[in-house]
Amino acid sequence: MNDSPTQKRPRGTRWCSIGIVAAAIGAVAVVVCLAGVRVGLIGAQTAFMAFAIGLLAFAVGLVSTGVGLLLSKGSAGAASKQRAWTALAAAVLFFAASFSQMPNMSGTAPINDISTDVRNPPAFVAIVPFREGAPVPPEYAGQETARQQAEAYPDIQTLMIERPTDEVLNAAEKVAQDLGWEIVAIDRIGGRIEATDTTFWFRFKDDVVIRLTPRGDETYVDIRSKSRVGRGDMGANASRIRRFLERLSEITST
């Protein structure tokens, strides 16, 4: 028979222990998703899911270690003080880095097909085989998307440049390359460029088609950008089009 009194664990021990484990899971999930997608071991959607798991785990780690350290007055109770503070710091750094990289979603629309010409949007041709099996088809999304685009991105319009079409095509090709897009096809006779842009973190692939239309001494530039997966794009396609048009306008005005 054991007559010794039951020893209670110091306050904050359980909270800190849970937080340490949760932060470790979060760190592993984030490293796996970012490293795995970089070397091609996992796809973009799988990486995004792994990141979401890491986000949830770090949230648990942040709350748990925070409560545990507060209850224990910074000692972490019977848990490792060093690991508890490291878990808390890792969670804080993770959220700080994540929020700093988040795009400004104010004014965005839940669409992923953006075009300067919504009445006659440029069509994908050479890129169609690369989109085979993608959840989002290459065809234009339709009039409801056009309506939402007009409300969210009224500035996305056809660009008119007072230059011959061949000069504008060369400039458009240079801008696309400078932006890091992978050129899939160039039709110099028809005035078309098709390219793919891969996002930095999760390696999502968005496709772009540029159409040049000569009208006298002027060239009208239309561009369309569409995601391969997802319903919304957090404004990524509109931002991509803006960057392209701004740079093209700059180099053709000099």
The string of DSSP codes covering 169-183 is HHHHHHHHHHTT-EE
| Annotated domain spans of the chain | 13-100, 113-252
Task: Read off the tokens for 246.
Answer: 């701004």
On the question of pLDDT at 190 being above 60, the answer is yes
User: Picking from 34-38, 187-191, 226-230, which range would have the lowest pLDDT averaged per residue?
Assistant: 34-38
Cα→Cα distances 37→5, 88, 129, Å: 54, 27, 22
Please give the pLDDT value at position 6: 47
Q: Which of 244, 182, 177 is nearest to 212 (CA)?
A: 244
> Hey, what CATH class is 113-252 in?
alpha beta
Alpha-carbon gap, residue 79 to 251, rounded angstroms: 61
Is there a contact between 227 and 112 (Cβ–Cβ < 8 Å)? yes
On the question of pLDDT at 8 being above 90, the answer is no
Q: Which of 33, 45, 232, 40 is nearest to 134 (CA)?
A: 45
pLDDT tens for each residue of 103-142: 666 678 999 999 999 999 999 999 999 999 999 999 999 9
pTM, two decimals, is 0.79
Q: Burial-class residue 61 by CB neighbours within 10 Å (0-12, 13-18, 19+).
A: buried
Cα→Cα distances 114→106, 130, 145, 211, 228, Å: 17, 19, 8, 14, 13
Q: Identify the bridge partners of residue 225 per DSSP, sorted by sequence position.
A: 114, 208
pLDDT, the chain, mean: 92
Compute the C-alpha angle 182/188/190, nearest 5°. Answer: 110
Which residue type occupies 251? I
Please give the pLDDT value at position 5: 47
pLDDT tens for each residue of 69-116: 999 999 999 999 999 999 999 999 999 988 877 666 667 899 999 999
* Three-class SS state of 120: coil
pLDDT tens for each residue of 133-182: 999 999 999 999 999 999 999 999 999 999 999 999 999 999 999 999 99
Predicted confidence band at 201 (pLDDT cuts at 50, 70, 90)?
confident
Average pLDDT over every residue of 207-220? 96
On the question of pLDDT at 55 being above 80, the answer is yes
Is there a contact between 43 and 100 (Cβ–Cβ < 8 Å)? no
Percent above pLDDT 90 for the chain: 79
Is there a contact between 200 and 189 (Cβ–Cβ < 8 Å)? no
Is there a contact between 218 and 161 (Cβ–Cβ < 8 Å)? yes
Please give the pLDDT value at position 7: 61
